[in-house]
């Protein structure tokens, strides 16, 4: 074995190498302490949480269903309406009910946005607070 003793002229030189072994030892000890104490600190009261399940929206009888076909004709349930003024009068009559029913809009995929927008605007003018859109659910596994 050899040992570097150095010459008397090397006394003024600064050792620039850092020994990291003590640092690694301290970090490993801290890691072990944290691994032991964390399960003790995180104790909570055990409760049975409710399970969440997706349920399809059921159309209630008091809900109003408005359909817009591809040509832009507006239907109240299955009755065709003469125009947006007829729709607005019917919506104003529904808006005063307590509790106010939800208006569900069924727009054809090929209908113009303008046709569905007129229905939404009429709902807004009548003061309807709940407006929903009925869509086709995606196929399972897709």
Assess contact for 80 and 71: CB atoms under 8 A. Answer: no
pLDDT tens figures, 8-59: 555 666 777 888 888 999 999 999 988 888 776 666 666 666 676 666 666 5
For residue range 81-98, list pLDDT tens digits in order: 988 899 999 999 999 988
12 vs 10: CA distance, rounded Å: 6
Confidence (pTM)? 0.55
The rounded distance, in Å, linking the Cα atoms of 85 and 91 is: 10
Q: Strand, coil or helix: what is 101?
A: coil
87-107 b/e with 16+ CB inside 10 Å = b? bbebbeebbeeeeeebbbbbb
C-alpha pair distances (Å), 45 with each of 36, 42, 48, 49, 96: 20, 10, 10, 12, 47
């Amino acid at each position: 074995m050899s040992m570097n003793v150095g010459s008397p002229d090397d006394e003024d030189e600064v050792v620039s190498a850092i020994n990291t072994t003590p640092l690694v030892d301290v970090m490993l000890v801290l890691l072990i302490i944290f691994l032991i104490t964390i399960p003790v600190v995180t104790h909570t009261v055990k409760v049975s949480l409710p399970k969440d399940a997706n349920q399809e929206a059921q159309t209630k009888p008091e809900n109003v269903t408005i359909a817009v076909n591809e040509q832009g004709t507006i239907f109240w349930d299955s009755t065709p309406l003469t125009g947006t003024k007829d729709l607005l009068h019917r919506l104003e009559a529904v808006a005063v009910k307590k509790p106010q029913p939800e208006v569900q809009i069924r727009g054809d995929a090929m209908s113009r946005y303008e046709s569905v927008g007129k229905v939404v605007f009429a709902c807004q003018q009548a003061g309807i607070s709940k407006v929903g859109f009925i869509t086709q659910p995606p196929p399972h596994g897709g």
